[in-house]
Structure 1
Amino acid sequence: MRISELSRRSGVSIPTIKYYLRDGLLPPGRATAANQADYDDSHLRRLRLIRSLIGVRGLSVSATRDVLAAVDKQRENVHLLLGLVLGILPADRGGEPEGSTQADDTSAPAGADADADVSGLSEVAALTAEMGWKTSPHTPAAQVVAETLETLRALGVDYDWRSLLPYAELADRTAALDLDQLADASDPLQQAERAVLLTVLLEPALLALRRLAQEHHSAQRYGGG
């Protein structure tokens, strides 16, 4: 296909496509003349992934280049590829999870705060073990859960990892639904693009659904006009 068709099918403007070509995010097409080239479906899939990483995930061009470089090394491993595009695995290590632990990855300050942080991560480890989850030691989500538990306790709320188990079970079912929706995308780059779209764009809707359900159950339990 010509660059005009690539633009039309991808939704990315021709000047932007040319910028991605110059910057190395998109590989060159097959030259057909001095200033013309043909592009194929692999260019379309990669361009759609670039668009989702920059426009949906909000990555910079530089960060997107790093992710794509790591993706190129993991094209045959869909699990690691999804970890890269969703920010679960570090692009600067090529997506390789080996060689560190959650505690090693934590850059907490020394002293009581560091002790609290390690305690929180230990609780996350207990939670994931109880759920039977296999997760990367690099995932930022573990740090978020750890910090949330510590904040709740600092505010006087008696809350630990066991309190999160019912929510973890709901999250487990939600994640299975997420991955089910990738099944009809046969190409890894298509799966990666769809994973970014479903994860980033659906998160506000999932939170809104929780609020709607809370309103419903509040009205049922406590009455409401």
Structure 2
Amino acid sequence: MRIGELSSTSGVPVSTIKYYLREGLLPTGRLTSANQAQYDEHHLRRLTLVRALVDVGGLSIATVREVLDAVDASDSGAVRMVHDGITAVPATDPDAAAEQEASSFLTRCGLPYEPDNPATRSLVAVIATARRLGHPHFTDQLGVYADACRRIAEADVDRVMRHSSVEDVLEGVVVGTVLGDAAMVALRRLAQLQEYRRQSGPR
């Protein structure tokens, strides 16, 4: 397919596709003349992945390029890049109490406490903010979150491990992380709405 067809099939403007080509996010097409190239299903699949990382995951072009290079090299670092990019939070002032609360909570839940992991830093930042807002025991209500997330993680890993190639596994984790996080937020909002209505009763 030519670039116009790739655009119409993917829904991505030609100008954006050309930008991704210049940035190295898409491999070049097979040249059929000096000004024409042909693209195939691999380009369409990669374009869809790029859009998910940029539009849904909110990752920078530079980070997306690193992730794709790692996926192509069958490097598991791609997974960490996506996790880091999504869970990265602004630096916060050191808060020993929040750090201790996060450590104790994760230990009780049987989850790893890794001080330098961006996910851990995000949790500590959340707890520190909750403490500043007058909720010193915010983690008391997070046990149900951890239980639910453990079940989700099992489903995530089970799904991607069915792939046969390392590249497909890595791509599956990347997509699952980006889309899964967005889906969880959406489903939580809908469940909250339903529960508010249930507890409020008929009006």
TM-score per shorter chain, which class? 0.7 to 0.9
Q: Is the 1:49–1:190 Cα contact (8 Å) retained in structure 2?
A: no
TM-score, normalised via structure 1 length? 0.68
The 3 A distance-change label for structure 1 pair 60 and 167 is: closer
Asked whether the equivalents of residues 98 and 127 of structure 2 are also in contact (C-alpha less than 8 Å), the reply is yes
Report SS of the residue matched to 1:32: strand
- 2:113 and 2:2 map into 1 onto residues whose CA distance is 42
Q: 2:182 aligns with which of 194, 200, 206?
A: 200
Aligned CA-pair RMSD? 3.5
Aligned equivalent of 2:128, options 134, 150, 156: 150
The equivalences for 1:180-191 within 5 A come to: 180=158, 182=160, 187=168, 188-191=170-173
Partners in 2 of 1:161 and 1:213 — Cα distance?
21
Distance 1:194 1:129, change over 3 A: same
Amino acid at match of 1:172: R
One-letter amino acid matched to 2:181: T
**Structure 2 gap ranges (5+):** none
Instruction: Summarize deviations over 1:97-129 as a string: whole Å, max 9, x none.
Output: xxxxxxxxx9554xxxx2xx2332233233223
Runs of 5+ in structure 1 lacking a partner? 92-105
Deviation at 1:20, TM superposition (A): 1.1
Aligned residue pair count:
199
What percent identity do the matched residue pairs reach? 36
Give 1:21 deviation, angstroms. 0.8
Secondary structure of the structure 2 residue equivalent to 1:87: helix
Counterpart of 2:142 in 1: which secondary structure?
helix
Q: 1:176 to 1:123 in 2, by over 3 A?
A: same
Match in the other structure for 1:15: 15
Q: Kindly tell me: are residues 72 and 8 of structure 1, through their superposed partners in 2, closer, same or farther at Cα, counting changes over 3 Å? A: same
Within 2, Cα distance between the matches of 1:181 and 1:135? 25
Letter in 2 for 1:145: L
| Equivalent runs, 1:116-155 vs 2, <5 Å | 117-134=95-112, 137-155=115-133
CA distance in 2, matches of 1:70, 1:76: 5
Alignment of 1:23-34 (within 5 A): 23-34=23-34
The Cα of 1:50 is off from its aligned counterpart by: 1.0
1:39/1:83 Cα in 2 relative to 1: closer, same or farther (>3 Å)? same
Mapping of 1:24-63 within 5 angstroms?
24-63=24-63
TM-score, normalised on structure 2? Answer: 0.73
Seen in structure 2, the aligned counterparts of structure 1 residues 175 and 52 have a Cα distance that, compared at 3 Å, is: same
Tell me which residue corresponds to 2:150. Answer: 172
**Pairwise CA distance, 1:200:** 1.9
